[in-house]
Chains A and B, each alone.
Chain A
Amino acid sequence: QKEVEQNSGPLSVPEGAIASLNCTYSDRGSQSFFWYRQYSGKSPELIMFIYSNGDKEDGRFTAQLNKASQYVSLLIRDSQPSDSATYLCAVRTSGGSYIPTFGRGTSLIVHP
């Protein structure tokens, strides 16, 4: 059974700090990795995707992928109170299935 594990948190960081969110996955055949942000009562919103080993940067967000260790992370630099949300990791295998497996999400709180 494919599993995606995340620490539920909450992860609390001060404004301006780097928030580091981690995700591990069990299926070695996983090819695509996604980070969604979900504000309370709102829909999940895709903020980053990565499918090659290494780092991918987009503004204040950096996704890091290590397939050998089956580990994907999301770094948020210069964290703002508006970044406070639940961050969902989702993983998708290749081979014709486009259905992602989600983790339970990590709650991030950025305090002023």
Chain B
Amino acid sequence: EAGVTQFPSHSVIEKGQTVTLRCDPISGHDNLYWYRRVMGKEIKFLLHFVKESKQDESGMPNNRFLAERTGGTYSTLKVQPAELEDSGVYFCASSQELASTVDEQFFGPGTRLTVL
């Protein structure tokens, strides 16, 4: 079974440009999460989809970030326009169901975004 995949693995852009990150969750996983890790800091939650609906977007830093999950399959996270502080590793994770104490989330390898 394929794991969570993310594309691209690395992205280097200039301040003011737009970048779109993609996440393909494990097939059949309704829950999809985006996280970000800024260098030297902890992994922080951005938002949570259940199928195509945004369940919780309390972690989105500002309106320069737009996440979508059309059709409830893959998701994209667009940053427009990118700022220097947006640099970091963006992780995607998916899980099968929430009605579980564990709700094991499977993480993708991350996209390393560098804004110059």
Contact B42 A44, beta carbon cutoff 8 Å:
no
Contact A98 B104, beta carbon cutoff 8 Å:
no
Give Cα A102–Cα B44 distance, bound, in whole angstroms. 7
Q: Which residues of chain A are within 8 angstroms of B88 by Cβ–Cβ distance?
A: none
Q: Which residues of chain A are within 8 angstroms of B108 by Cβ–Cβ distance?
A: 43
Contact B42 A4, beta carbon cutoff 8 Å:
yes
- Taking a contact as CB atoms closer than 8 A, the residue among B42, B103, B105, B110 that contacts A105 in the complex is B42
Contact A32 B101, beta carbon cutoff 8 Å:
yes
Asked if A104 lies at the interface with its beta carbon under 8 angstroms from chain B, I say yes
Give Cα A42–Cα B107 distance, bound, in whole angstroms. 9
How far is the CB of B19 from the nearest CB of chain A, in Å? 20
Q: Which residues of chain B are within 8 angstroms of A41 by Cβ–Cβ distance?
A: 109
Give Cα A86–Cα B108 distance, bound, in whole angstroms. 16
- Taking a contact as CB atoms closer than 8 A, the residue among A44, A99, A103 that contacts B56 in the complex is A99
Q: Which residues of chain B are within 8 angstroms of A51 by Cβ–Cβ distance?
A: 101
Asked if B102 lies at the interface with its beta carbon under 8 angstroms from chain A, I say yes
Contact B109 A43, beta carbon cutoff 8 Å:
yes
Q: Which residues of chain B are within 8 angstroms of A102 by Cβ–Cβ distance?
A: 42-44
How far is the CB of B45 from the nearest CB of chain A, in Å? 5
Contact B98 A44, beta carbon cutoff 8 Å:
no
- Taking a contact as CB atoms closer than 8 A, the residue among A32, A36, A42, A101 that contacts B102 in the complex is A32
Taking A42-B109, A46-B105, A99-B48 as given, write out 5 further A-B residue pairs in contact, using a Cβ cutoff of 8 Å, ordered by the A residue number: A46-B104, A98-B95, A98-B103, A99-B45, A99-B56
14 A-B pairs whose Cβ atoms sit less than 8 Å apart in the complex: A31-B101, A32-B101, A36-B107, A41-B109, A44-B107, A46-B106, A49-B102, A51-B101, A98-B31, A98-B98, A98-B103, A99-B56, A102-B42, A103-B42
